[in-house]
């Protein structure tokens, strides 16, 4: 399927696949595409890299598409790998899903067209670049990178190899957010001057002793590009890894990237970004009590060259997250948890016609990805878009860690500060180089 840009499948490949279906004596109608299903030869063949909590969330959305076929999964944890196979086999009623402890073996499978990457954050851009080099198209969960330098490398790699890449900031494909965007763009709140969003408070993890690596974990593969350190359950399990700089970057980065993505989209600044970053009221975990490193709460500000301000508040609880566009004639807000849209003047809401999928449904986002795989046109959240949204939260992180205001040049992608520039890149642990 790699050669043909328009039809996505060559005659030879079609015949090859057709030969495979020649074996069973009784051919079910759906195999031939007779009952409205997509014929196997025309399905997009998927593999999954990293099948944990997040993947189990979005996998049902993927499986609901008849035009794709899952054939393989990969995970560094044996039990997750086995249960992912079970899930996929149950869906298809077969035993055909293959498992690969090493994702590079999965990527070497020639019949796989695309991959879902839902590893921990530390692996996202590295696995994406390996996938792009293997000629696969990619749906990668957010945040798409851990450093600005890595994100830029991802953009370049996808551009060079013609990879279709969708960043998992699926709110671009949900009705409530689309509505808010349209209202802002149509000037219903006047001239927008501030984009305000809120994510929940970051967790803290108390100090803990190392333990033996649980059976079935390939811990070295789990760490991947991250510096080796002993297995400490609280640093690894659940969402613990989000609270440490080398494996995550805290809530304003992890969740905030959804909102900076929305902000960039609404403002039409997908190929550029703000010019100034400043943080205030950052509360860090007390190192005497906690081993976690990322901020508990704080205010993360940015400013675009035209004066528009973006603010991420990290405060309150999980359910309190929202994004609000404020203009000189009103505001419009999407509450993320309930998907409720509120606005001032209220009359704006009368314009909301469509019901639609909520943020938790990634279906529309996947649909956009599949259409791009066939058309070879950029996805909604193509690498440049994902990288620019991610750069904003990463620049905020750097400003918070250095404790100073930073100026950013979105063209050269450089700060006015040498220390900050050094922090736009981290060396991956060998042999993981990009």
Instruction: Show the site string, 23-62: x = touches another protein by CB under 8 A, - = not.
Output: ----------------------------------------
Instruction: Spell 317-345 as b/e; 16+ CB within 10 A means b.
Output: eeeebbbbbbbeebbbbbbbeebebebbe
Residue 353 Cβ, how far from another protein at the closest point, in Å? 50
Residue 208 touching another protein (CB under 8 A): yes
Distance from C-alpha of 367 to C-alpha of 28, rounded to nearest angstrom = 26
Q: What is the DSSP string of 115-145?
A: EEE-S-GGGHHHHHHHHHHTT-EEEEPSS--
Judged by CB, which is closer to another protein: 50, or 149? 149
Residues 167-206 that bind another protein (CB under 8 A): 206
Residue 291 touching another protein (CB under 8 A): yes
CB 71 within 8 A of CB 45: yes
Residue 422 touching another protein (CB under 8 A): yes
Query: Which pairs from 408-416 meet CB under 8 Å and 24+ separation?
Result: 408/273, 408/274, 408/275, 408/276, 408/277, 409/275, 410/272, 410/273, 410/274, 410/275, 411/272, 413/148, 413/152
> What tokens were used for 313?
């508040």
Judged by CB, which is closer to another protein: 152, or 181? 152
Residue 412 touching another protein (CB under 8 A): no
Distance from C-alpha of 224 to C-alpha of 117, rounded to nearest angstrom = 14
Per CB under 8 A, which region of 130-138, 337-345, 352-360, 414-422 contacts another protein?
Answer: 414-422
Residue 206 Cβ, how far from another protein at the closest point, in Å? 7
Cβ-based neighbours of 16, under 8 Å, separated by 6 or more: none
Per CB under 8 A, which region of 11-19, 43-51, 61-69, 220-228 contacts another protein?
Answer: 220-228
Distance from C-alpha of 432 to C-alpha of 434, rounded to nearest angstrom = 7
Number of residues that bind another protein (CB under 8 A): 32
Residue 250 touching another protein (CB under 8 A): no
> What tokens were used for 41?
């030869």
Cβ-based neighbours of 22, under 8 Å, separated by 6 or more: none
Residue 230 touching another protein (CB under 8 A): yes
Instruction: Show the site string, 373-402: x = touches another protein by CB under 8 A, - = not.
Output: ----------------------------x-
Residue 215 touching another protein (CB under 8 A): no
Judged by CB, which is closer to another protein: 234, or 273? 234
Distance from C-alpha of 332 to C-alpha of 314, rounded to nearest angstrom = 20
Judged by CB, which is closer to another protein: 220, or 329? 220
Residue 228 touching another protein (CB under 8 A): yes
Contact set with another protein (CB under 8 A): 206-210, 212, 220, 227-230, 232, 245-246, 284, 286-289, 291, 401, 403, 418-419, 422-423, 425-430
């Amino acid at each position: 399927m790699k050669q043909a840009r328009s039809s996505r499948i060559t005659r030879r490949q079609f015949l090859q696949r057709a030969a495979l279906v020649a074996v069973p004596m009784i051919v079910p109608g759906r195999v031939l595409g007779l009952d409205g299903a997509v014929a196997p030869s025309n399905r997009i063949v998927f593999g999954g890299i990293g099948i944990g909590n997040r993947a189990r969330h979005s996998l049902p959305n993927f499986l609901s598409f008849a035009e794709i076929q899952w054939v393989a999964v990969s995970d560094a944890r044996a039990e997750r790998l086995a249960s992912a196979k079970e899930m996929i086999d149950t869906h298809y009623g077969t035993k055909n899903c293959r498992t690969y402890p090493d994702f590079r073996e999965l990527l070497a499978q020639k019949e796989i067209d695309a991959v879902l990457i839902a590893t921990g954050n530390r692996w996202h851009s590295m696995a994406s670049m390996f996938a792009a080099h293997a000629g696969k198209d990619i749906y990668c969960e957010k945040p798409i990178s851990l450093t600005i330098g890595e994100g830029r490398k991802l953009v370049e790699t996808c551009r060079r190899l013609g990879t279709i890449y969708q960043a998992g900031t699926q709110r671009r494909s949900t009705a409530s957010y689309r509505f808010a965007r349209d209202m802002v763009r149509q000037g219903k709140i006047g001239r927008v001057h501030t984009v305000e969003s809120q994510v929940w408070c970051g967790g803290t993890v108390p100090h803990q002793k190392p333990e033996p690596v649980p059976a079935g974990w390939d811990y070295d593969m789990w760490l991947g590009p991250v510096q080796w350190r002993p297995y400490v359950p609280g640093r690894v399990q659940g969402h613990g890894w989000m609270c440490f700089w080398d494996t995550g970057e805290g809530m304003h980065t992890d969740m905030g990237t959804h909102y900076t993505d929305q902000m960039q989209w609404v403002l039409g600044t997908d190929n550029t970004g703000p010019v100034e970053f400043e943080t205030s009221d950052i509360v860090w975990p007390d190192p005497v009590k906690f081993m976690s490193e990322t901020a508990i709460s704080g205010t993360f500000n940015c400013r675009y060259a035209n004066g528009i301000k973006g603010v991420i508040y990290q405060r309150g609880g999980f359910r309190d997250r929202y994004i609000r566009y404020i203009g000189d004639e009103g505001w419009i807000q999407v509450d993320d948890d309930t998907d409720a849209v509120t606005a001032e003047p209220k009359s704006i809401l009368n314009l909301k016609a469509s019901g639609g999928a909520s943020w938790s449904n990634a279906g529309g986002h996947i649909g956009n990805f599949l259409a791009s795989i066939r058309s070879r046109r950029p996805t909604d959240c193509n690498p440049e878009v994902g990288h620019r949204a991610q750069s904003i939260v990463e620049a905020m992180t750097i400003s918070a860690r250095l404790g100073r205001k930073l100026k950013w040049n979105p063209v050269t992608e450089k700060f006015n500060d040498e220390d900050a520039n050094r922090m736009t890149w981290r060396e991956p642990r060998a042999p993981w180089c990009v």
